[in-house]
A and B are shown apart, each in its own frame.
Chain A
Amino acid sequence: MNERKIRVLVAKPGLDGHDRGAKVVARALRDAGMEVIYTGLRQTPEMIAEAALQEDVDVVGLSILSGAHMALVPRILELLKANGLENVKVFIGGIIPDEDLPRLKEMGVSGIYGPGTSTEEIIKQVRESVKN
């Protein structure tokens, strides 16, 4: 019998242009033994929730640099829930102002990481989040 691998969807919602950070995180998670489904740029919330359903992931990682997080994140969480995926953990990486952190956490986001966060820290928290 195979062990259960942690499956992570890495997506970049919104219209801003580059996905370097998302790719670095995707590779780090792979090097930590996880299976990362990489979906690329300009994903709509609908596309992300659909991909999470089809791929049966444990975790969704969102890279958001556009400042549109307060519009995108609630919508994505809502759609995940509508798909029956309320147990999927959502992490955000990007530039998120401090004043938005409490509200995002309240909505159910499991972790929020600014540009300087080490990948070790992200890996550790992703692992912990899927344990319980």
Chain B
Amino acid sequence: MQLAKELLSGNRLALSRLLTQVENDTPEGRSALIEIFPHTGKAHIIGVTGGPGTGKSTLVNQLGLCFRKHKNPKVAIVAVDPSSPFTGGAVLGDRVRMRDLAGDEGIFIRSMASRGSLGGLARATAGLVQVFDAAGFEIILIETVGAGQAEVDVARLAHTTLVVEAPGLGDEIQANKAGLMEIADILVVNKADRPGVENTLKALKSALELAHPVRHVFQHHGQVEVVEAPDQAEESSWIPPILKTIATDGSGVSELIVEIYRHKENMRESGDWAARERSRLGSELDAMLQEALVFGFREKIPASHYEHVLDKIIQRKLAPRDAVKTLLNGGSK
């Protein structure tokens, strides 16, 4: 309780301690999330994802600097790195690239280990974002693990998702493989100082056309025929722009920020902002409901009964779906 109050009054140590409580899912963390919830919903949440070594951390460093210069918002950064599946430990190294942000009270960087989650974020990342949101951080940047697999969780959490690519990381565009193209609101070709940028740009453009089919207008016997792209009829008109940056010196970053603000405006006007909010909070509600129902149910039935049913499944005497029915009916077939 205490931490939540101090957080709302701007105490940075309380903020940090509360982030730990939420990350560890402690009773104090849980009740604080309830208390601060009315103060959330104001931040612009920006995800930064892409393959390993594309320059995500370096870019986040530049974005932090540039946001602060632009309109002076408070900026929080959540940087997620993988935990070792063997020991559960982690080396979190994203701060190494963010040293320019040291000494600015308006910036708060928190490193996080994935702790077994596979979608590019940790289980508690959404909770940390809520804490920052309640603490008055207007911009929240989330750097995903960046292991190259489909890190689509970030798109559910963020309002604006940046997918970062870089030239020279193999022939095929990584984002294309990992299915990242569908989640990109803005595509960034970083390391634009490196050879091969034009190829990467070209490949991204064609991948983008596959992922976001645009309306095709055909002239057919003098009549105009409009073919709606599948499932896009009601979607917004936003076509992800492709931008070039050099994160090591900041080139292209202020243009990137302009696009980020433009995306926010576009979402507000099209109603996408509200729609994303609804679907995000809806899935959060569903997840919690499921957890609570399962937990409540398991508490009501004797463990021995559950084990007995599980034994039957293992012996192939009962299919899992039938077992669920048996358990829900209170029977002990």
Contacts and interface: CB of A to CB of B under 8 A. Distances in A.
A125 interface: no
Given A53-B13, A54-B110, A84-B13, A35 B92 contact: yes
A84 B16 CA distance: 11
A56 B25 contact: no
A37 interface: yes
A32 interface: yes
Interface string B57-97: 00000000000000000000000000110011111110110
B17 to A, nearest CB: 6
Interface residues of A, number: 33
B267 to A, nearest CB: 30
Contacts of B204: none
Contact of B95 (A34, A37, A84): A37
Interface stretch (B101-109, B206-214, B318-326): B101-109
Q: Identify whether the interface residues of B are mostly helix, strand, loop, or mixed.
A: mixed
A1 B24 contact: yes
Contacts of B84: 30-31
Interface stretch (A44-52, A65-73, A105-113): A44-52
Contacts of A85: 13
B23 interface: yes
Contacts of B17: 56
Contacts of B83: 35
B132 to A, nearest CB: 11
B12 interface: yes
4 closest A-B pairs by beta carbon, nearest first, are: A30-B89, A40-B96, A56-B16, A47-B102
Interface of A: 1-5, 7, 26-27, 29-40, 43-44, 46-47, 50-51, 53-56, 83-85
Given A46-B102, A47-B102, 5 more contacts: A1-B27, A40-B93, A47-B103, A50-B102, A84-B13
